[in-house]
Amino acid sequence: MTALRNELLKLALPLVRTHGFTREALSRSALALPTPHPEPLRDTAVSALFGDGDDARRTLISAWLDEGRTHMREASDTSIKDALRTRLRYNEPVLNLLPEAFATLATPPGHILDPRPALKHAAAVADEACVLAGDTSVGTLWHARRASLAAIYTAAELHQLQSPHTADGFLDGLLDSESRVKNTLDDATQYAGYIISSWVGIIKSRGILL
Amino acid sequence: MQRLVSQKSVAWAACSVAKRSYASASRVTPSTAYTHPTGSEGASTSSTPQDITPEQRNALDAALRIDQAGEVAANYIYMGQLAVLGRDRVAGPLIQDMWDQEKKHLAVMNKLQHQHGVRPTMLWEVAKVAGFGLGAVTALMGKEAAMACTEAVETIIGEHYDDQLKELDAINTADPSVPLLKEVVKEFRDDELEHLDTAVLHHSQRAPAHAFLSTVVGAGCKVAIELCRRI
């Protein structure tokens, strides 16, 4: 049952371009099976497989986002910039549907705004980009890197929703600022290290045992 | 449990003395697949099991996260102890040797973290500071207290690796990375137990308030393990 559900979900993804993130895309996925179903799934079947009302749409949107991360692996060059650009490319065919899709994700049945799916989406994209670029940071640096990339990607995606043509330039600008800030922080840390070593040396030379 | 541990330590002391006399630095161990890769390891050092249930995946992630945090803490404990006892004729080189082994463990754990796509603990900096503090404080209490701290920490870590081996045995997967992981965990467990018996041989049991110190350090380690499992 789960295998069939997953297969139908995968087949519904190409239909998002034509039918949007709707229950209709899910019901028409049955027509694309290897042994095609004679007619689209009935509404009750869609509810049974994927959930009632908007829950089914949320399942489809989440599956589409997961597919986006798999799509990132097709980036031509294994750099963070290319991985994020490829992910932004993936958004392009359905750009006009995305604001409503994200809004649906953020409004679960309880009708209280839920920021978690958006945060999870950004974190997952950042993680995938780091893995593809062969990032080997550990500890706090692992978290810091992914947090900053998630913020950059979120800003770039929001920019893309408003102004698709300048999205790449905006992403490049953000990544450049991030690397400039990182270099400045590294330099500042190194300088602070020199100051501290100097003071340790001065204190030791005064005869105070350390 | 304490009595079992000291019996285990005595048994370990007997066979590890012989082991130490034949041990050489270039011994091929399971972890050399990560420290000195020859290119013939194939998928065992690069893939992660895809055919396990989400619960097993969470358990694997948590286990690796705790292991990595434990190795970080152990590194910094030895660093703290060396900062105080570095000039001691006997304890200094001993702690330095054990620290070098822990450095190797941490390097392997970092590679395992990236291989299996595990999130490291957010308490990384806390582990560093707490480890250094514990090492320095126990070293200030004396050589024997430092050894007692090592004994307590290595006991908990050894038990944890043992529990992890049982968990890994329950995972059925076709992926080649899991058997290698089991071998590596077994090797690290044996290394930690060797540290434990070294600490006992160097009079950790003579430390002032040994039982109290062991209990406090052991309880702290268990709390840290539970925190790292979640955070």
Residue B39 falls within a domain, yes or no? no
Q: What is the pTM of this model?
A: 0.83
How far CA A79 is from CA of A75, A131, B66, B69, in Å, comes to 8, 10, 30, 29
The answer to whether the CB atoms of B120 and A136 lie below 8 A apart is: no
pLDDT reported for residue A207 = 82
Residue of B nearest to A146 (CA): B119
What's A109-164 look like in SS3?
Answer: CCCCCCCHHHHHHHHHHHHHHHHHCCCCCCCHHHHHHHHHHHHHHHHHHHHHHHCH
The answer to whether the CB atoms of A138 and B120 lie below 8 A apart is: yes
Residue B161 falls within a domain, yes or no? yes
Which residues of chain A lie closer than 8 angstroms to B131, CB-CB?
none
The answer to whether the CB atoms of B122 and A138 lie below 8 A apart is: no
The answer to whether the CB atoms of A140 and B72 lie below 8 A apart is: no
Burial of A184 (C-beta count, 10 Å sphere; 0-12/13-18/19+) = exposed
Contacting B residues, span 92-111, partner chain A, CB-CB under 8 Å:
110
pLDDT reported for residue B23 = 45
pLDDT reported for residue A74 = 79
Which residues of chain B lie closer than 8 angstroms to A131, CB-CB?
117
Which residues of chain A lie closer than 8 angstroms to B120, CB-CB?
138-139, 142-143
C-alpha span between A56 and A67 (Å, rounded): 17
- Helix (H) or strand (E) run with residue B20 in it: helix B2-22
Residue B24 falls within a domain, yes or no? no
C-alpha span between B177 and B202 (Å, rounded): 37
Q: Which of A129, A30, A118 has the alpha carbon at shortest distance from A85?
A: A129
Please give the DSSP secondary-structure letter assigned to residue A33.
S
pLDDT reported for residue B18 = 43
pLDDT (tens digit per residue) in B214-225: 999 999 999 999
pLDDT (tens digit per residue) in A25-59: 888 888 888 887 888 888 888 888 888 888 889 99
Judge whether B105 is annotated as a binding position. yes
Which residues of chain B lie closer than 8 angstroms to A142, CB-CB?
119-120
Which parts of chain A have pLDDT scores under 50?
none
The amino acid occupying position A9 is: L
Residue B2 falls within a domain, yes or no? no
The answer to whether the CB atoms of B117 and A140 lie below 8 A apart is: no
Cβ of residue B119 closer than 8 Å to a chain A Cβ: yes
Which residues of chain A lie closer than 8 angstroms to B112, CB-CB?
none
pLDDT reported for residue B7 = 55
pLDDT (tens digit per residue) in B151-209: 999 999 988 999 999 999 988 888 888 989 999 999 999 999 899 999 999 888 888 88
pLDDT reported for residue A85 = 92
Which residues of chain A lie closer than 8 angstroms to B117, CB-CB?
127, 131
Judge whether B183 is annotated as a binding position. no
The answer to whether the CB atoms of A142 and B110 lie below 8 A apart is: no
Cβ of residue B47 closer than 8 Å to a chain A Cβ: no
The CA distance from B113 to the nearest CA of chain A, in Å, is: 9
pLDDT reported for residue A209 = 63
Which residues of chain A lie closer than 8 angstroms to B68, CB-CB?
138
Question: Which one of B61, B105, B110, B126 would you mutate to disrupt binding with A, by most A Cβ within 10 Å of its Cβ?
Answer: B110
Question: Which structural domain, as residue segments, surrounds residue B173?
Answer: 51-230
pLDDT reported for residue B24 = 46
Please give the DSSP secondary-structure letter assigned to residue B206.
G
- pLDDT band at residue B65 using 50, 70 and 90 as cut-offs: very high
Residue B178 falls within a domain, yes or no? yes
pLDDT (tens digit per residue) in B76-121: 999 999 999 988 888 899 999 999 999 999 999 999 999 999 999 9
The ipTM, to two decimals, is 0.81
Name the residue ranges covered by the structural domains of chain A.
77-206
Number of independent structural domains in chain B: 1
The CA distance from A70 to the nearest CA of chain B, in Å, is: 15
pLDDT reported for residue B119 = 92
Residue B10 falls within a domain, yes or no? no
Q: Which of B146, B201, B210 has the alpha carbon at shortest distance from B11?
A: B201
Residue B36 falls within a domain, yes or no? no
pLDDT reported for residue B118 = 92
Q: Which of A78, A24, A61, A68 has the alpha carbon at shortest distance from A46?
A: A24
The answer to whether the CB atoms of B122 and A143 lie below 8 A apart is: yes
Average pLDDT over residues B113-138: 93
Please give the DSSP secondary-structure letter assigned to residue A39.
S
pLDDT reported for residue B22 = 42
pLDDT (tens digit per residue) in B6-53: 555 555 555 444 444 444 445 688 888 888 888 787 778 888 888 888
The two three-digit tokens of residue B33, written as one number? 């697949």
pLDDT reported for residue B50 = 84
Question: Which one of A73, A130, A138, A145 would you mutate to disrupt binding with B, by most B Cβ within 10 Å of its Cβ?
Answer: A138
CATH of the domain at B113: 1.20.1260
